[in-house]
Chains A and B, each alone.
Chain A
Amino acid sequence: MSVRQKNASHQRKSTGTPTLPKAPTGIRGLDEITLGGFPRGRPTLICGSAGAGKTLLAMEFLVCGAIEYNEPGVFMAFEETAAELSQNVRSLGFDLDELARKKKLQVDYVRIERSEIDETGDYDLEGLFIRLGSAIASIGAKRVVLDTIENLFAGLQNQGILRAELRRLFRWLKDKGVSAVITAERGEGALTRHGLEEYVSDCVILLDHRVTDQVSTRRLRIVKYRGTAHGTNEYPFLIDEGGFSVLPVTSLRLDHPVSKERISSGVPRLDTMLGGDGFYRGSTILVSGTAGTGKTSLAAHFVDAACRRGERCLYFSFEESQAQLVRNMTSIGLNLEEWVKKKRLQFHSSRATFYGLEMHLSVIHKMIAEFRPHGVVLDPVGSLIQAGAARDTHTMLIRLIDFLKQKGITAFLTNLTSGGDALEKTNVEISSIVDTWLFMRDIELDGERNRALYVLKSRGMAHSNQLREFLLSRRGIELLDVYVGPEGVLTGSSRVSQEAREKANALERQQDTVRRERERRRKREVLEARIAALRKEFEVEEEEAESDRTQDLLRDKMINETREAIARSRKANSGDGRVPKKHEGAK
């Protein structure tokens, strides 16, 4: 019952402002396509072939009404006894006996035994009215189910009376103001075998159980719904242990919230290639490539990184089992088992052909609703093609991506491209709706095969245009620069040998430089030594010149002194020696 309550808020939110008073069914998805539920106070006809799920849909309408919307209900069963019904729905978590005790639900079994009834003359179905009326009154029912009222046609002969009475019954139900659900068998070329759609014309819902290419799909369609808008498509639905759920999968809207948050791809160098920070949260990532290029490994890294951040991830694997995936990923150093144990990672492995496309979608929706993951991996989406026609797969993926975006869940899709095709052709042609597209390819050269990865597109980020070589090692994925040079694009061992060659060249060049440097140093030393010697020489010369000059001065002085001494001795002049000098000069 917890699933039910959890959905309640979700349902109410989608109810919006109905044009017509409506009784919410509480069934996942159905309230969305009916824009709020079945018409309140009016009868709704549910038709479908045997085993289409009519009784279950009707029962859920009552049980949800009783539990979630406090609207007690009466189930008038013409086919199964109360005990049988109670047993049938117990597996879905509905306890009819408990609800009956709480006076929220009453099951009234009407048995019609053709063999013990004879008819003579006029009659009406007042007995049925009284029974229903008293059941409604006893619990204050707001909802009524008549399942399958057409059984009356088998029990009573007078069709004229029966039809008139049914018309009166539906009128009467309307007057009572109860939201009624009437189930009916699908007829040949008509909606119902006995033309009940003539009487119940407010809302008619058709359930279909179809097998195409050995794959069965349940679908629901609102044939008509007076006085309100409604979804007109065929919607797949699911009956499982959680009950009935309809997928309004075509609610294609482009108003999903976007996140600016970036999340790592789990491969640091890939993050760098994606503008430095990795993917946008809530974006859709497609990894396509030929077989064995490492798409799953990349997906595993994405999952590992998300779990490491404490987020939850759902991994839908259509080719490998969980055990196999976990084992294989340990070989590249990823311990996914740990995340499974911590309940951050959940695998869902199923063959794509196990059931129909819509069923896959249903399962994915349901699991997402239950696990509420931050990231979802579909590996590989291409194999879903086997479950349906290519066009179906395309629309389904659009729906799915749309749904994931609406929820802000990052989607990681892998896709196998067949070799030899146009390089960038993805066979599901979903490339236009993904945000980031990584392409992985083989490069075959010199007798070996190497993996390369590049970012084909990535919306909203300055992503790298470079081809990176992609290596799977025990430490995980490594991205290396490929060698791009005059020799062409080299990967693998040719890259290694090229690199070695380049390294040798570099070493040689380096040694050369060192040698030249040493020579230059020596030359400088020589030059400096020479400069020093010259300077020394010059200094010597200068010293000599200086001493010459002093000697000259001394000599001059001595001459003067001598001359003065002579003059003095001659007494030619008194005092100043200059005069006689001038004199002498004048002479």
Chain B
Amino acid sequence: MKKAGTARQPQPLSLQEIAKRKAPGADEVWELRLYVAGQTPRSVAAFANLKKICEEHLAGRYNIEVVDLLKHPQLAAGDQILAIPTLVRKLPQPLRKIVGDLRDTERALVGLQLRPTMQDK
């Protein structure tokens, strides 16, 4: 388990990063962190849903880190976690948070920006 850093402030994006963002299927590795509190059915479901999404869309270029706040409560402040479960997309920037058990795959994909939103189309 990696130690969580301080809250990451959204940085202004460079042109290069914007280019990457428009093409998320490139060689970038996704850093994902899932905050849970114990092995609740909801946590388990969230992890399963996340795993499924990643396998489908980011096969081979993602890392999932699961943080159990019951074991490491001090980590909740770092990413400003209130709701459980919360998925935090650390990379690629900008930081995104998706709250809930990721049951709705479509919404999860939009939240992760793996699928263009209505505006992007």
Contacts and interface: CB of A to CB of B under 8 A. Distances in A.
A156 interface: yes
B107 A118 contact: yes
B92 interface: no
Given A133-B73, A134-B74, A152 B97 contact: no
A124 to B, nearest CB: 6
Contacts of A126: 37, 69, 83-84
A509 B24 CA distance: 128
Given A121-B104, A123-B83, A127-B37, A134 B98 contact: no
Nearest to A128: B82
The 10 closest A-B pairs by CB, nearest first: A118-B111, A121-B103, A134-B73, A121-B100, A126-B84, A127-B81, A121-B101, A120-B107, A126-B37, A120-B104
B111 to A, nearest CB: 3
A111 B7 contact: yes
Interface in A126-161: 126-128, 130-131, 133-134, 152, 155-156
Nearest to A152: B82
Which of B69, B73, B74, B107: most chain A Cβ within 10 A? Answer: B73
A120 B82 contact: no
A164 B41 CA distance: 19
Interface in B66-112: 69-70, 73-74, 76-77, 80-86, 94-104, 107-108, 110-111
A128 B35 CA distance: 12
24 contacts: A116-B94, A116-B95, A117-B97, A117-B98, A118-B96, A118-B98, A118-B107, A118-B110, A120-B98, A120-B99, A120-B111, A121-B46, A123-B99, A124-B84, A126-B84, A127-B37, A127-B81, A127-B83, A127-B86, A130-B69, A131-B76, A133-B73, A134-B74, A156-B99
Contacts of A116: 10, 94-97
B42 interface: yes
A120 B100 contact: yes
Which of B37, B84, B95, B108: most chain A Cβ within 10 A? Answer: B84
B82 A122 contact: no
B73 A117 contact: no
Contact of A123 (B69, B74, B101): B101
A167 to B, nearest CB: 16
B77 A120 contact: no
Contacts of A124: 42, 83-84
A89 interface: no
A146 to B, nearest CB: 12
Contacts of B100: 119-123
A155 B80 CA distance: 12
A110 interface: yes
A125 B84 contact: yes
Nearest to B36: A126
A391 B74 CA distance: 57
Contacts of B77: 108, 131
Contacts of A155: 82
Contacts of B95: 116
B73 A112 contact: no
Contacts of A156: 82-83, 99
Contacts of A120: 98-104, 107-108, 111
Nearest to B98: A118
Interface in A81-136: 108, 110-113, 116-128, 130-131, 133-134
A131 B73 contact: yes
A144 to B, nearest CB: 16
Contacts of B83: 123-128, 156
A65 to B, nearest CB: 23
Contacts of A131: 73, 76-77, 81-82
Contact of A125 (B46, B82, B111): B82
A124 B10 CA distance: 26
A189 B74 CA distance: 40
Given A112-B80, A119-B99, A127-B37, 18 more contacts: A108-B77, A111-B7, A113-B80, A116-B96, A116-B97, A117-B97, A121-B100, A121-B103, A122-B42, A126-B69, A126-B83, A126-B84, A127-B81, A128-B82, A128-B83, A130-B69, A130-B70, A134-B73
A389 B95 CA distance: 58
Contacts of B94: 116
Contacts of B74: 134
B110 A112 contact: no
Contacts of A127: 35, 37, 69, 76, 81-84, 86
Interface string A388-399: 000000000000
Nearest to A78: B82
A122 B101 CA distance: 5
A196 to B, nearest CB: 17
A77 to B, nearest CB: 12
Nearest to B88: A116
Nearest to B108: A120
A235 B94 CA distance: 50
Nearest to B113: A118
Nearest to A134: B73
A130 B76 contact: yes
A130 B97 contact: no
Nearest to B89: A116
Interface string A523-535: 0000000000000
A121 to B, nearest CB: 3
B48 to A, nearest CB: 12
Nearest to A118: B111
Which of B7, B80, B97: most chain A Cβ within 10 A? Answer: B80
Contact of B82 (A110, A121, A133, A134): A110
